[in-house]
Chains A and B, each alone.
Chain A
Amino acid sequence: MIHSLFLINNAGDLFLEKHWKSVISRSVCDYFFEAREKAVEPDNVPPVIRTPHHYLINIYREKIFFVSVIQTEVPPLFVIEFLHRVAETFQDYFGECSETTIKDNVVIVYELLEEMLDNGFPLATESNILKELIRPPTILRTMVNTITGSSNVGETLPTGQLSTIPWRRAGVKYTNNEAYFDVVEEIDAILDKSGTTVFAEIQGVIDACVKLSGMPDLTLSFMNPRLLDDVSFHPCVRYKRWESERVISFIPPDGNFQLMSYHISAQNLVAIPVYVKQNISFFETGSSGRLDITVGPKQTMGKTVECLVVTVHMPKVVLSANLNATQGTYNYDPVTKILVWDIGKLNSQKLPNLKGSLSLQSGAPKPEENPSLNIDLKIQQLAISGLKVNRLDMYGEKYKPFKGVKYVTKAGKFQVRT
């Protein structure tokens, strides 16, 4: 299926290649470079590129292009999903997935790629299994290795291939048994000029960090599972239990993983935590404009809105901005034409306001459209959909684990049109 993989950085240097079948010359990447050239922005590179003999499927992550070469028919999503999994594995192993870390750990990278694919077909992609086969590098281990002179090799024979549960390694042991769940919700919304919601939805994930000994069997239940009608699960979750009882029953992988993600699109359920009053106008004459933005709390459920940032992509003719912010700081980058107003905590008594004038390129026609505002925010201890975890039960093990749940709401693609 997947024939070869090339890693290419943003500058167009090919810095790593791996072949799972016979070797394909790296000149095949010329087609990719051509497309890359044409696309200008790295985001605009088409994910599937056709060449006379191969197909190149690429993803762009962390400023690296993962370009895979395909020779036979294969579902494209299959390849894309796998490439993302590779990137995530690198991230998991090295902390970040960047050119530097990959080059620093090139041997581990090769070991990983070798294990993840056999003859071009995914073999072991679960992080738990991989970590059993290949130990991730840590600072501590490097130190220990240096002192003891041992190398970065697993202590035991890999048993993962033979463990009965594909995603969990056997023989896990912790002194403190803990299970943490983060309910993270992102609001995607488009508000129009008058502040009415054009489109809103909530994208939620439950990230888990489970450090429990043995083979625990967990059941997570919600106060209001009816909220969730569109969910996707980690493979460890039993679909049947969810269908019948609306509880999440699973034997967790060891360590960090994403338990589930969900999607709430019913508009009436989506509370919009802030409102924005804005007035951006450009004058016909005098090559100047006016900007006035006020942000206020709307439906915050009694919680404070933090990390509030307003970003405006100004039209090209805006040269500079002379503004006055009642709270926080603003910064206008004349090169990228991006105005960033970092507000911080939203104070409902005294609403933050940004006001002032914009100076435009003289002689240029007044910009046709007003820029839209992108809003970023964070609310701690609140899941905006109202989702609440009821309880977590553990079966199969004797000890009593420590359990914790955290809720966070963030803004996803939150746009205000002007």
Chain B
Amino acid sequence: MSANSVSYNDQGSVESGVDAAQENSNIPVSISSGGAAFSLFSADYKKCWFSVIADGGMDSSFSNARSFFGQLSRSEENLREFSFQSMIEVNYCDLAGLSALMDLIVVLYTCKMNGGLGSLRLEAAGVMRNALVSAENLQLTLKSDFSSEEQALTNNHKSGNEEKSSRGNEDLKEMLESSKESNLLKLQFEILLKKLVYVYLVRYAEEQQDLALLSISTFQRALKDPNQLIRASALRVLSSIRVPIIVPIMMLAIKEASTDLSPYVRKTAAHAIQKLYSLDPDQKEHLIEVIEKLLKDKSTVLSSSRDSRALLMSVVMAFEEVCPDRIDLIHKNYRKLCNLLVDVEEWGQVVIIHMLTRYARTQFVSPWREDAVFDENSEKAFYDSEEEKRVDQSKLYIMDPDHRLLLRNTKPLLQSRNTAVVMAVSQLYWHLAPKHELSIITKSLVRLLRSHREVQYIVLQNIATMSIQRKGMFEPFMKSFYVRSTDATHIKTLKLEILTNLANEANISTILREFQAIGRCATNISEVTDTCLNGLVLLLSNRDETVVAESVVVIKKLLQTQPSQHSDIIKHMAKLFDNITVPMARASILWLMGEYCEHVPKIAPDVLRKMAKSFTNEEDIVKLQTVNLAAKLYLTNSKQTKLLTQYILNLGKYDQNYDIRDRTRFIRQLIVPNEKSGALSKYARRILMAPKPAPVLQSAFKDTRMDGWMDSGLAQRMRSASGYLELSDWPAVAPDQSVRNVEVVEPVKEAGAPALGESKPAKSDEKFYSDSEEEEEEEEEEGSSSEDSSSSSSEESESESESEENSDDSNKSSSSQSEKSSSESDSEKKKKTLKNKKLQQQKPDSKDRKQKNGNTVKGESESESGSESSSSGSSSESGSESGSELDSDSDSGTDQKKNTKSKPVQSKPVTKYDGSFLSRESPVSGREGYQESEREGEMSD
């Protein structure tokens, strides 16, 4: 279609169309008001409107077309088709009209693509062609350019138009490329059109892969655009096209973008990693490389801009998705993550906190040793170990400063408005904090209960799980769990659940008053069982039948748990028996009678007599219990009940229910002696009257294991779901903490050094080793972190020891070997070998070394966890022992330990002033340096 054939502003037809509309209705014909009134019209009027628009070509109508087409989503299907046809006739003469068309197509494709619209699709393709031609015209008239990305989109859009002819495609391309000017109007339009096309493209690329491929080259060009926004969005679209063939292109683009100067583009790259991974998991190894690179990104520390923060969050997201098991990548970024946590966007906080929780569980020793009264596992270890050792342990546990850092930095987030963040922090505290610090999360969790219904549900579920293990936590807030009449059912249930868990001697009376599900309260606390029983018996006189029935059922359970001295209660129930109609309750009473018929020898036969009378009218469940009762009585008191039993068995024999017939037959064979009866009948009494174990009444939440994530709704049920990551047990021996120190030898770090220099240009070289304190202070301010100000004391010596370490290493290692206890030797030896290797290679390839580092750490953690899981009791004990020994080590080296926190801070200037070469070549890793200094401390002691 050429520009000449486009006819618009056909005034005559507009008027006629308007007239037609006017004739048909009294609706004012102001098209501008049409949008609002539109929904009120009948289908016929709507048709009129469409023809008005179609015939129109009035400028104003186009701007309104959007609202009209918004209506399309809910207009009838035939009407939609009609309107579509009329749309085809419209010749788009301005931007608004074109954008309206795009809207329409988006609406049609994304919103209502159900079966009946198949024909519309073809038409839509045709319309798209028209639109593109119109766009072409506009290019001419406005003499403006579409960005290269825009071209890509438009082109692709064209290609998306199914098999329609590509007439005009070449022209369009030329036109788009030739036009160079730009104006504001164009820009606006461009963005909108781009967005809409983007929606369309991403939605349908997967279904029409071949066509989507045509757009790729233009995206690649856009990736080199000078505008960071365009680069980023090109990457975004490119990575969203789920076409396997372009995986290599995406990989390349991601790699390129990850070194982009703009943090915004790098962030997009991080997002793209996940997309690529989900498209093709085989790319994992390459993607991990990119993640590693991005994690080390310096800008996250220094620039306070939003994008660099967002970058951090995106990278962690990608990390979680692609390689959650590679915690070795986190080591060097751990402190950075902790310190920046407060400033990251709320959604990112959730992800990072979850990741850090997992990380911390693998890296720090359990802080629960002394006071882990509620934790069953550690309790075992606690008592199994010898008395002396226990004392040692409790004395010697000192929290890793990094562990403390994490807890301290997450604490303020409990005040986030985002419930997910609060929950994430709570979980972090639950899994990582010493027991006595747990209480601070309680208040925040209770606060969440004021939130939306759904949030309440999830939070209550979590509290229910927590309250089983640690009643004390929520006791002060018991009243928050009182049930309101307005609560939804599942919330009421959960609240009752929690109240039950919270019940203890002190508050039981309060709860009882509040509480209907008394049964469980009673069994949990044996002292109050009698009180409960009395309360329940009182309830028995309640007129509400269901209440009585419930209480009978509960009493039945309670009596079973008690030695049977409650014959008067049974008598009372026998009296009530006539009035109770709820089958379950009747059955329960009958069962009680049978079970304790020896305690109530007079009443039981009487009840049986009554039952014999009404047997045929009873429910099945009652009949079964009647048969049971009869059998039991027959055995204990056959004189009185022989005939009755025979009668009931006869009734049962001809019952309609096969279950009852079976049971009757069975019972008859069992208890009535005859010549055929086998050996079993001798044991009939023992079979029937065997003491039954009491039912175990417990919370349904008890089985949710607490050492898992415990993450409420999903995790409780979602164990099978993909991507669920089990939280590991605490390591018995703390993995080397100094792995987190290293920044000195990171070659990638240095690449970012100029950027670092920019932010702090005032510093001079003299400060290199001497004035680290001052620098640290500044760092503190920048990172908005709260570091221990006391920790900077012995940095100097430490860094010196690092540099010396290289030469001294072999001596030290040999001397220290003898000091080592056998239990800790395993992991230590590995490190040792690693060290030696390094010594041999004078200039090891840095990347290679890093890899090794990572592998060893991984190996360590694997072997630990393996040994723990394989043998439960003894190995865990030995694990804790060895842990204590390590602790004693660390005790002597406390000073140095403190240092580790400030170390990355201190080491940054090193990288900065030392120039990249020196530090790259020195084979000193922080890990070794740290161990060394620790040992030095020992020796000096």
Chain A interfacial positions (CB closer than 8 Å to B): 15-19, 21-23, 41, 43-44, 46-48, 50, 55, 57-61, 70-78, 80-82, 84, 100, 103-107, 110-111, 114, 118-119, 121-122, 125, 142-143, 145-155, 157-158, 161-166, 188, 190, 198-199, 201, 203, 229-235, 239-240, 242-243, 258, 260-261, 263, 265, 313, 365, 368, 372, 374, 413, 415
**Is the CB–CB distance between A157 and B229 below 8 Å?**
yes
The smallest beta-carbon distance between A154 and chain B, in angstroms, is: 6
Whether A232 lies near B306 (C-beta < 8 A) is no
Query: Is there an interface contact between B229 and A161, defined as CB atoms closer than 8 Å?
Result: yes
| A residues less than 8 Å from B13 (CB atoms) | none
A153–B419 touching, CB < 8 Å: no
Which residue in chain B gives the minimum CB-CB distance to A137? B67
B264 and A415 contact, CB distance less than 8 A: no
In the complex, A143→B306 CA distance in Å?
36
| Chain B, 383-417, CB within 8 A of any chain A CB | 412-413, 415-417
Q: Is the CB of B722 within 8 A of A155?
A: no
Of the candidates A48, A239, A374, the one whose C-beta lies within 8 Å of that of B713 is A48
Partner pick for B306 among A78, A106, A118, A165, CB 8 A cutoff? A165
Residue of chain B at shortest CB distance from A61: B452
Nearest B residue to A115, CB-CB: B195
B307 CB → nearest A CB, Å = 7
B306–A164 contact, CB under 8 A?
Answer: yes
Chain A hits for B199, CB < 8 A: 110, 114
Q: Does B715 contact A (CB under 8 A)?
A: yes
Whether A233 contacts B305 by the Cβ 8 Å rule is: no
User: Is there contact, CB below 8 Å, between A119 and B275?
Assistant: yes
Contact A243 B543 (CB under 8 A): no
* New A-B pairs, 17, CB < 8 Å, besides A80-B420, A155-B188, A260-B417: A15-B73, A16-B111, A43-B488, A48-B458, A73-B724, A75-B714, A80-B458, A81-B419, A84-B455, A111-B195, A149-B60, A152-B66, A157-B187, A158-B191, A161-B306, A232-B447, A240-B786
Whether a CB of chain A sits under 8 angstroms from the CB of B91 is no
List, in ascending order, chain B residues with CB within 8 A of A190's CB.
482, 484
Contacting residues, chain A, for B64 (C-beta < 8 A) = 146
Q: When each residue 23-66 of chain B gets 1 if its CB lies under 8 Å from chain A and 0 otherwise, what string results?
A: 00000000010010001000000000000000000011011101
Q: Which residues of B contact A165 (CB under 8 A)?
A: 306
Q: Is B489 an interface residue (CB 8 A)?
A: yes
Q: Does B855 contact A (CB under 8 A)?
A: no
- Interface contact B111-A106, CB-CB below 8 Å: yes
A–B complex contacts, Cβ < 8 Å, 21 sampled: A48-B458, A57-B454, A75-B714, A81-B418, A103-B73, A104-B39, A106-B70, A106-B73, A148-B63, A149-B59, A149-B96, A151-B100, A151-B188, A161-B264, A199-B482, A232-B416, A233-B415, A239-B415, A258-B417, A263-B447, A265-B480
Contact partners of B144 in chain A: CB under 8 A = none
- Does chain A have a CB within 8 A of B756? no
Q: Number of contacting residues on B, CB 8 A?
A: 112
Query: Within residues 258 to 315 of chain B, which ones have a CB less than 8 A from any CB in chain A?
Result: 264, 271, 274-275, 278, 304-307, 309, 314
A37 CB to closest chain B CB (Å) equals: 15
Alpha-carbon distance between A21 and B485 when the two chains are bound, in angstroms: 41
Query: Do the beta carbons of A119 and B62 come within 8 Å of each other?
Result: no
> Beta-carbon contacts of B461-495 to A below 8 Å, as 1s and 0s?
00000000000000001011010111011100000
Tell me, in angstroms, the Cα distance from A74 to B453 when the chains sit together.
19
- Asked if B60 contacts A146 (CB within 8 A), the reply is yes
Which residue of chain B has the shortest Cβ distance to A77 in the bound complex?
B420
Q: Which among A18, A103, A146, A374 has the highest number of chain B CB atoms within 10 Å?
A: A146
**Assembly CA distance A161 to B263 (angstroms):** 11
Q: A77-B420, A84-B452 are in contact. Are A46 and B490 (CB under 8 A)?
A: yes
List, in ascending order, chain B residues with CB within 8 A of A122's CB.
347
At the interface, yes or no: B873 with Cβ under 8 Å from chain A?
no
Q: State how many angstroms separate the Cβ of B153 from the closest Cβ of chain A.
A: 14
A80 near B419: Cβ-Cβ < 8 Å: yes
Q: In the assembled complex, which residues on chain A have CB atoms less than 8 Å from the CB atom of B309?
A: 166
Chain B nearest CB from A194 CB (Å) reads: 13
- CA–CA, A415 and B70, complex, Å: 45
Instruction: List chain B residues, Cβ under 8 A from A19.
Output: 203
From A50, A103, A110, A146, contact of B106 by CB (8 A) = A110
Encoded as 1 (CB less than 8 Å from any A CB) or 0, chain B from 312 to 352 comes to 00100100000000000000000000000010011100100
Say yes or no for B99: interface residue by CB 8 A criterion: yes
CB distance from A233 to the nearest CB of B (A): 6
Q: Are A230 and B443 in contact (CB under 8 A)?
A: yes
Asked if B643 CB lies within 8 Å of chain A CBs, one says no
Q: Residue B206 at the A interface, CB < 8 A?
A: yes
- What's the Cα separation between A82 and B346 when bound, in Å? 11
Q: Which chain B residues border A47 with CB–CB below 8 Å?
A: 453-454, 457-458, 713
Given contacts A48-B717, A73-B721, A413-B486, contact A121 B412 (CB under 8 A): no
Contact status A233-B416, CB under 8 Å: yes
**B residues 106-152 with Cβ under 8 Å of A?**
106-107, 110-111
Contact pattern, B 189-232, Cβ under 8 Å of A = 1, otherwise 0 = 10110011011000100100000000000000000000011000
Q: How far is the CB of A114 from chain B (nearest CB, A)?
A: 6
Known contacts A80-B452, A80-B454, A230-B443; A161 and B416 CB within 8 A of each other: no
Chain B nearest CB: distance from A411 CB in Å?
Answer: 13
Q: How long is the Cα–Cα vector from A41 to B486 in the complex, in angstroms?
A: 12
B450 touches A44 (CB 8 A): no
Decide: B306 and A166 in contact? CB cutoff 8 A. yes
Complex CA distance for A414 and B188, rounded to whole angstroms:
52
Say if the beta carbon of B379 comes within 8 Å of chain A: no
Known: A84-B452, A164-B305, A313-B485. A150 touches B63 (CB 8 A): yes
Distance in Å: Cβ of A85 to nearest Cβ of chain B: 9
Bound Cα distance A368, B516 (Å) = 15
B938 to chain A minimum Cβ distance, whole angstroms, is 38
Distance in angstroms between the alpha carbons of A145 and B100 in the assembled complex: 13
Residues of A contacting B506 with CB < 8 Å? none
**Binary CB contact string for chain B from 416 to 433 against chain A (1 if under 8 A, 0 otherwise):** 111110111000000000
The residue from A149, A157, A413 contacting B191, defined by CB atoms under 8 A apart: A157
Cβ of B760 within 8 Å of any chain A Cβ, yes or no, is: no
Asked if A75 meets B489 with Cβ closer than 8 Å, knowing A15-B74, A365-B543, the reply is no
